[in-house]
Every structure is written in C-alpha cells, then in structure tokens.
C-alpha cells in the first residue's frame, strides 16, 4: 500500500508553501513546524518530507534546527532535502535526526560525491531527487533547467545502484491542479523495480488511490493538506489500510 508522506517546507524556520517553486509566491501556514509535525503524527502518519528552502537557495543546510526539534519531539521518520552539497551538510542533517536524505542537484553537479554517499550510507538512506519540468531535470532550487530527459537520467542512476527516487513535477507543484499521473505511470512501467515517491500537485484523495494502483510506493502531500483539499483523517484511513495489508 502507498506510503503517505506529508510535507513541511521551511523558510526562516516557518512552515510555508510555494507555487511552482517560486520564492516570490510564498504563503506562510504556520510559524511553528513542530506543531504541524505533531498534528501529522497524531493522525497516525509515520513519515515526514522536510525541505529546507533557504538551504536549497543558499546551497548549504540552513534550517537544521528544525530537523532537531521535530526529531526530538516526534517519532516521525524524516526524509530531508535542500542545500545538501558537502560531507559536512550530510553529517549535520543525519546528526540532527533525519533518517533519509533527498539529494538532487549534487547528483548532477558532483556525480562522484553522490555515489560516494550512496556507497557509504546505503541505497535505503539516500533518495535521488529527480525534479522535472517538461520532462527535463531541474537543479539549483529549480532555478536551472537542464536538457537531461527524466527517463535517461533515471536509467543511468538506477543502473549504478540507486533504489529510491523522489520525482517532483515542478509545473504541478503547489498548484492544486492534480498530479502527473501519466508520468509516474510511465516511469513505473519503464523501471518497475524502482522505489518511486511521487510529488507535486496531488490535490484529491482519489489520486492517492490511483498512485497506489499504478505501483507508486509513496506520495508526498503538501499544499492539499494545508488548503483543506485532503484531510488528515482521509490520510489516516489510507495509512491504516496500508498497515492492514502489510
């Protein structure tokens, strides 16, 4: 059954959401991310996708204190992304309490370092971030669009040992217009052994059931929660169904 992963994006220590990754389209939902995380946990959710938007922009981990606060006050399994560029960044994130890392830009900018981390920490702890816009990989806080096709990108990295991939369609992210179901379906058909986490634009609970049907392993849900399009009670129900199926 699909794993539901609620998202918290951080700017200046506050819980925010952007539209299409545009920092000028920022909306603050809560000034205390720990409160938000506790509410997720109270509804039976076990995972958390935590993004350091300041870190992504500044190319270094900035909001590590938020990881520390959430990990010390909840039992949520945190996967963290944003600004991880060096060994020091990686150590800070793991030492602050994150259990998994989402690494995107550095996988392209310093491939050798990325695979060093994959070998050292294992394919279950390092998630490859594959952010796309019109099927092309985006890096540097989504500010730079490469000419690398998503399928070619994944083919290369999966052959070299990557297991888990978080794929976000930037054009859908934060727009509440539905997710890229066709893209995720295509990727699961082409790479059936890949552990795929889908992200970007998930708006209705029906989409989560559809993602489960096409074999996607996890779904990151953000703005739909904050805007009341999907309730935590609905997510709890899906989580309970997953527990029963295990």
Reading the block at residue 204, the tokens are 């209705």
Q: How far is CA 108 from CA 92, 138, 150, 240, 243, in A?
A: 22, 10, 12, 38, 36
CA distance 28 to 212: 30
- Residue 242, CA distances (Å) to 3, 60, 219 in order: 7, 36, 13
Active site residue 9: yes
Distance of CA 194 to the CA centre of its chain: 15
Residues 9, 54, 69, 89: which is the catalytic one? 9
Catalytic residue among 54, 89, 131, 173: 131
Phi-psi region of 194 (alpha: psi -120 to 50; beta: other; left: phi over 0): beta
Of the candidates 125, 201, 128, the one whose C-alpha atom is nearest the C-alpha of residue 160 is 128
* Whether 206 is catalytic: no
Which residues belong to the active site? Answer: 9, 131
């Amino acid at each position: 059954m699909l794993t539901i992963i609620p998202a918290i994006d951080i700017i200046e220590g506050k819980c925010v959401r952007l539209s299409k990754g545009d920092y000028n389209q920022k909306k603050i939902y809560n000034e205390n991310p720990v409160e938000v995380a506790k509410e997720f946990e109270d509804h039976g959710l076990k995972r958390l996708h935590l993004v350091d938007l300041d870190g992504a922009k500044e190319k270094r981990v900035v909001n590590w204190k938020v990881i520390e606060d959430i990990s010390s006050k909840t039992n949520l399994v945190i996967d963290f992304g944003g600004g991880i560029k060096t060994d020091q960044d990686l150590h800070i994130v793991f030492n602050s309490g994150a259990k998994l890392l989402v690494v995107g830009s550095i996988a392209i900018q310093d491939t050798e370092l990325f695979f060093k981390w994959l070998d050292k920490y294992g394919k279950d702890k390092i998630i490859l971030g594959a952010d796309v816009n019109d099927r092309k990989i985006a890096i540097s806080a989504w500010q730079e669009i490469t000419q690398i096709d998503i399928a070619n990108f994944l083919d290369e990295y999966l052959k070299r040992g990557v297991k888990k991939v978080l794929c976000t369609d930037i054009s859908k992210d934060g727009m509440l217009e539905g997710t890229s179901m066709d893209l995720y379906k295509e990727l699961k058909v082409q790479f059936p052994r890949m552990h795929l986490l889908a992200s970007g634009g998930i708006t209705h609970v029906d989409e989560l059931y559809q993602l489960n049907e096409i074999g996607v392993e996890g779904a990151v849900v953000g703005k739909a929660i904050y805007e009341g399009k999907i309730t935590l009670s609905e997510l709890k129900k899906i989580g309970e169904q997953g527990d029963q199926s295990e």
